[in-house]
A = this chain, B = another copy of it.
């Protein structure tokens, strides 16, 4: 064998192959909501037979993209970790330019506009809401976006006084940019993004709408975001 083919090529192809099927891609995108779905829910979502989806889940779990948890007769799956979520986001963002076409049906349209207003992206906030928060943090000098993407010392203090604890985990960055595919601009992800999202939901600043990823800012949320970050409630509607 005289070729110098890169040793990582088979692995790369195998990994991409896991995502390269429309049904599996639909599953991964659905799981971007950060929750655990049952196999049946995913089968209905993707529009394939339960037997077909079972095989897909087997491959995704074996490939390390999904984590599973069996409970009685249910098989719950979720994205394996934040790194996998980032990977799927990143790939989806690369596709977005074409996917950001105008919607076809009224249902898609209303659901789309709710998603555009505010949604979760795995474990952090996205959509106009996510952008508004990210921009507000930047304007107040709490987040530095001009030379990269990192919280400032003032930013660390802000999280502290807001009562949002940032757990310094092993590898995961405290702050990271995640490209928003509706706004086409980066929003806050990483440990801080996750903590902020969790806090907004726990404090009742936001509530989930329906069974989708979309979230809605509550009256209490509008007040809190206006007070803590100077976000004009009108931009969130």
Binding site for B on A (CB under 8 A): 1-26, 28-30, 44-47, 83-84, 86-88, 90-92, 94-96, 98-99, 103, 108, 144-152, 155-156, 173-177, 181, 186, 190
Contacts and interface: CB of A to CB of B under 8 A. Distances in A.
Given A108-B7, A148-B149, A150-B148, A21 B13 contact: yes
24 contacts: A2-B47, A3-B44, A6-B29, A6-B30, A8-B181, A9-B22, A9-B29, A10-B22, A12-B25, A12-B91, A13-B21, A13-B22, A13-B25, A16-B20, A16-B25, A16-B91, A19-B20, A87-B94, A144-B150, A147-B175, A148-B151, A149-B150, A149-B173, A149-B176
Given A148-B148, A149-B173, A28 B12 contact: yes
Given A9-B22, A16-B19, A29-B12, A175 B155 contact: no
Contacts of A150: 144-145, 147-150
A208 to B, nearest CB: 16
A107 to B, nearest CB: 9
